[in-house]
Amino acid sequence: MRRTVNVHDFRQAFKDSGRNDHFTYEGLGALFEYLVSLEEDTGEEMELDVIGICCDFSEYENIKEFQENYGDEYQTIEDIEDQTTVIPVDGDRFIIQQF
């Protein structure tokens, strides 16, 4: 049995699982839009797996914070996009698919 979720349900699932601090409120909105778009592009429905999403994606405040985990050879968003998916959030904030 499948259940369609909206952005509110998506955010609530993270809160209910104790993972609401893994992404910002805005980050969850951007991630939701990305995942819905991915479903539409591939034609495949996804199961909402909060833990899996937390393992697959991370949010960064800016490139400097990203560099602390991945190294300073990544100087621009374009450098990061050469390696993985980048989901803009707001301002300098972005989400990446872990690599």
The whole-number pLDDT of residue 74 equals 97
pLDDT digit string (tens) for the chain, length 99 residues? 677 899 999 999 999 999 989 999 999 999 999 999 999 999 999 999 999 999 999 999 999 999 999 999 999 999 999 999 999 999 999 999 999
> How many angstroms separate the Cα of 92 from the Cα of each of 9, 39, 44, 51, 88?
26, 26, 31, 25, 8
Three-state secondary-structure class, residue 11? helix
- State how far the Cα of 31 lies from the Cα of 37, in Å rounded to an integer: 10
